[in-house]
């Protein structure tokens, strides 16, 4: 088994799928000659040429429209946005177009396109470059949303996304590109909308995704030393969302802590918490706790920024609260 970074895993997924399917092309800002702003598309221009790896102008609406139109016409575009923040300029094409065309046309015109973007905070990039905007996409029927936390998941999910018949928003965390992990040499795909237990446990369920999954795992390791056995679940896909897996875990543990980097109000975990109380109230031994990003535009200063992003300590505190080991403040 190879040990590779998330960046390399994504690159392998793109490379393998492009070799397999001539309909796939990549377009985005600086994906070609520059080799990708986060180097995910490194070497692809060299292998596939400028017919299939296209540098675009800085025009997010039309980059997204290029994906929508070419997908409806039978190609398999893989559109890269330089960051999720810039996807805000393309929301019309993503939400008013990509997500709706299959339904609005009575199933005549599906939009099999993948829209990738890095995002998240922690790099001191300021308020306009540090956002976690996944809920914007999760909210719209018609879009699939994937947000992997490991190289293995990233490769398997991106390969799956590129074979799907509907638009997929594929969000990567800038802080995870260099994270290494084991990835099989042989080909594999991952199912859509299936979460993963990253750490089995019996006392408390922690549910998370993307970079916060690693913060949750860190908290679980520390809690193990305190005699608390946490089960850590990775949603992997936010739409569809595997809340069934979370519910099964809660049936076992009776306690749930939800960890997300996005803002709390109407965040991803607001949906998880709502579903678990709706379908699993009888199994809960304590109120569900959420650990979320602080509700301010992300500050630049390092300490201020770190104070906005959930930490292992905050997760530990939330777990302790559900265990009644400390009163809520």
Catalytic residues: 60, 129
Minimum distance of other proteins from residue 310's CB (angstroms): 31
Residue 51 sits in the site that holds other proteins (CB under 8 A): yes
Question: What are the phi and psi torsion angles at 293 (to 5°)?
Answer: -65, 145
User: 93 and 68 in contact (C-beta within 8 Å)?
Assistant: yes
Complex with other proteins: residue 82 or 309, whichever CB lies closer: 82
The candidate with the shortest Cα–Cα distance to 18, out of 63, 84, 77, is 77
* 50 alpha-carbon distance from chain centroid: 29
> Number of residues in contact with other proteins, rule: CB under 8 A?
47
Complex with other proteins: residue 109 or 125, whichever CB lies closer: 109
Q: What are the strands, taking DSSP E only, across the chain? A: 2-5, 24-28, 53-55, 76-80, 114-119, 144-146, 168-173, 180-183, 196-199, 204-208, 230-234, 237-239, 256-263, 289-293
User: 66 and 31 in contact (C-beta within 8 Å)?
Assistant: no
Residue 154 sits in the site that holds other proteins (CB under 8 A): no
Minimum distance of other proteins from residue 164's CB (angstroms): 6
- With contacts defined by CB under 8 A, name the span among 120-128, 187-195, 209-217, 303-311 that binds other proteins: 187-195
Minimum distance of other proteins from residue 260's CB (angstroms): 24
Distance from C-alpha of 144 to C-alpha of 299, rounded to nearest angstrom:
30
Question: What are the phi and psi torsion angles at 153 (to 5°)?
Answer: -65, -40
255: left (phi over 0), alpha (psi -120 to 50) or beta: beta
Binding-site member from 189, 284, 286, 323 for other proteins (CB under 8 A): 189
Minimum distance of other proteins from residue 267's CB (angstroms): 23
Distance from C-alpha of 20 to C-alpha of 14, rounded to nearest angstrom:
10
Binding-site member from 2, 96, 128, 306 for other proteins (CB under 8 A): 96
Complex with other proteins: residue 161 or 321, whichever CB lies closer: 161
Binding-site member from 110, 283, 286, 323 for other proteins (CB under 8 A): 110
Residues within the interface to other proteins (CB under 8 A): 25, 51, 54, 56-57, 59, 61-62, 64-75, 77, 92-93, 96-97, 101-110, 141-142, 144, 160, 163-166, 189, 191-193
């Amino acid at each position: 088994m190879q040990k590779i970074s998330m960046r390399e895993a994504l690159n392998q997924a793109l490379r393998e799928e492009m070799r397999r399917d001539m309909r796939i092309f990549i377009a985005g800002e600086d994906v070609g000659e520059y080799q990708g702003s986060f180097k995910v598309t490194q070497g692809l221009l060299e292998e596939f040429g400028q017919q299939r790896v296209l540098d675009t102008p800085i025009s997010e609406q039309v980059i997204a429209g290029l994906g929508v139109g070419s997908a409806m016409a039978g190609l398999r575009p893989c559109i890269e946005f330089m960051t999720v923040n810039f996807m805000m300029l393309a929301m019309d094409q993503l939400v008013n177009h990509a997500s709706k065309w299959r339904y609005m046309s009575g199933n005549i015109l599906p939009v099999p396109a993948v829209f990738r973007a890095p995002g998240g905070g922690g790099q001191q990039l300021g308020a306009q470059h540090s956002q976690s905007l996944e809920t914007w996409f999760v909210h719209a029927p018609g879009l699939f949303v994937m947000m992997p936390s490991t190289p293995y998941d990233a490769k398997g999910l991106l390969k799956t996304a590129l074979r799907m018949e509907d638009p997929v928003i594929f969000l990567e965390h800038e802080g995870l590109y260099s994270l290494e992990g084991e990835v099989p040499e042989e080909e594999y795909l991952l199912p859509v909308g299936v979460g993963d237990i990253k750490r089995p446990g019996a006392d408390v369920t922690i549910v998370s995704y993307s970079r916060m999954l690693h913060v949750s795992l860190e908290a679980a390791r520390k809690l193990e030393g305190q005699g608390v056995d946490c089960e850590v679940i990775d949603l992997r896909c936010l739409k569809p969302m595997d809340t069934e897996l979370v519910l099964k875990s809660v049936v076992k543990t009776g306690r749930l802590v939800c960890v997300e980097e996005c803002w709390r109000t109407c965040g991803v975990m607001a949906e998880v918490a709502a579903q678990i109380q709706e379908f699993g109230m009888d199994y809960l031994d304590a109120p569900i706790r959420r650990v979320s990003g602080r509700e301010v535009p992300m500050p630049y200063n390092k300490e201020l920024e770190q104070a906005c992003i959930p930490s292992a300590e905050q997760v530990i505190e939330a777990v302790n609260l559900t265990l009644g080991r400390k009163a809520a403040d």
